[in-house]
Chain A
Amino acid sequence: MIPSAFEYHRPPSVAEAIRIVSERGDDARVIAGGHSLIPMMKLRMAHLEHLVDLQDVAELRELSIADGIVRIGAMVTQHELITHEGLAQAVPIVREAALLIADPQVRYMGTIGGNLANGDPGNDMPGLMQCLDARFGLEGPEGSREVAARDFYEAAYMTDRADEEILTRITFAASTGGYAYEKQKRKIGDYATAAAAVLINAQDGRVSRASVAMTNLSDVPVWSEAAADALIGTACDAAACDAAVAAMSAEIDPQEDSRGPIEFKRHVAGTILRRAIARAWARA
């Protein structure tokens, strides 16, 4: 498995990276950790003339937590998300989810930005970021803008990001309360058969706030407002969970693949979601 040839660029800044990408247009791709793109290049399913490596862009490696707001540079790796104690305190669901991505070696290289920008329906971070109501910072030749994670994904590998834009940072509020990331997969290194991110706040024994998203059950991540609404105001009892699962079930659209047929995936989605809700509620 040998990729076809390309020219390599390692710009020192976002601005320089954007300049290269803008000049080269379709022929250029930005690379972060590369652990999605490089296998595709080796299988010759991805061809490009110019590879723009962001590893020297220091500003993309920053992770800060201030005033209850988490800001993560796109080049922060999954490994860094796992080992960052402040992040684990502020938003523990991120560590819980990141630990379920790929394997140790891939997590050292794989970045949050790459995981989000690629648009692969199997990636875990997009659903999680929708659950957290994160906002993505995009920079391009026209300047910078922000887009909500919940508005970013259009179809498999299709996002709101323009070709010449770079996803540079992710911002979301620290989440206090119950949380759970549940993922079923065939083995370490596999994508999810189904995964669920759930955040629940409780007040007086009732769900006061909830957010629910699932992964790899559609060509985009599925954040379900209806599923969350089904929980809010309830004691998270069986009827509420059933309603949440029913709501989510109406929004997912799993496809058959080697992980199994649609009927199975739908059932597993319900089971995984129930478990995530139960665990998040127990922690709320």
Chain B
Amino acid sequence: MSDKMHIKLTVNGAPREVLAEPRELLIHVLRERLGLTGPHIGCETTHCGVCTVDMNGKSVKSCTVFAAQADGAEITTIEGLGTPDDLHVLQRMFHEHHGLQCGFCTPGMITRAHRLLQENPDPTEEEVRFGMAGNLCRCTGYQNIVRAILAAAAELNAAREAAQ
């Protein structure tokens, strides 16, 4: 065990501070110290993506980031994407298009899809499949996940056009 570090994060827009060993993984800080159990732990070797969160504007696998590395970072988790009264369009579309079953991959999927649409607001199906390839799902075969993300993009684009 090594000395604990004072780690400051901005999580879902709010400043948070934790005392943690440097080796502590970001996913454990989020889940066990901050009570944000939306992101999950799946493979622990960066292959499955269920731990995906947004860190400084990038999708990262939080099982492979040390708490110490994240010191000073801005983090968004699934819990920061929508509220029960005002769901994020991706949350609505995953529901509408049956883009989830057991739900275990869903927080990582939606968080990743959110970043993908920030970078590519009007993706093709192929671009969605390539852009989501860091997130595994065992239940859906991805077909409805892809459909949900394309539908979310269409809705966001329609809203953007209407606003112009």
- Seen from chain A, the residues whose Cβ lies within 8 Å of a Cβ on chain B are 1-8, 10, 31, 34-35, 38-39, 41-43, 51, 53, 55, 79, 102-106, 108-109, 188-189
Contacts and interface: CB of A to CB of B under 8 A. Distances in A.
A109 B47 contact: no
B64 A53 contact: no
B23 A105 contact: no
A35 B65 CA distance: 8
A34 B131 CA distance: 21
A251 B108 CA distance: 43
Given A42-B44, A105-B134, A109-B64, 18 more contacts: A1-B45, A2-B23, A3-B23, A5-B1, A5-B21, A5-B22, A5-B23, A6-B23, A10-B68, A38-B64, A53-B69, A103-B134, A104-B133, A105-B59, A108-B60, A109-B65, A189-B46, A189-B134
Residue among B2, B112, B131 with max Cβ neighbours from chain A (10 Å) = B2
Top 9 nearest A-B pairs (CB, nearest first) are A103-B134, A8-B22, A108-B58, A188-B133, A8-B68, A5-B2, A105-B134, A1-B44, A38-B64
Interface in B58-85: 58-61, 64-66, 68-69, 71
A8 B5 contact: yes
A7 B22 contact: yes
Given A1-B44, A105-B59, A108-B59, A34 B133 contact: no
B39 interface: no
Contacts of B47: 189
A155 to B, nearest CB: 24
B57 to A, nearest CB: 9
Nearest to A39: B45
Given A5-B23, A8-B5, A8-B22, A105 B66 contact: no
A39 B48 CA distance: 13
Contacts of A31: 69
B38 interface: no
B4 to A, nearest CB: 11
Contacts of B44: 1, 39, 42
A38 B66 contact: yes
28 contacts: A2-B23, A3-B23, A5-B21, A6-B2, A6-B22, A7-B22, A8-B22, A31-B69, A34-B64, A34-B65, A35-B46, A35-B64, A39-B45, A39-B64, A41-B23, A51-B22, A51-B66, A53-B69, A103-B46, A104-B112, A104-B116, A104-B131, A104-B132, A105-B59, A105-B61, A105-B134, A108-B60, A109-B64
A8 B58 CA distance: 23
Contact of A109 (B22, B58, B132): B58
Contacts of B61: 105-106, 109
Contacts of B59: 104-105, 108
Name the residue in A4, A38, A43, A105 with the highest tally of chain B Cβ atoms < 10 Å from its Cβ.
A105
Given A1-B44, A39-B45, A189-B47, A105 B112 contact: yes
A2 to B, nearest CB: 8
Given A105-B112, A109-B60, A188-B133, A39 B46 contact: yes
A51 B71 CA distance: 14
Nearest to A187: B133
B49 interface: yes
B52 interface: yes
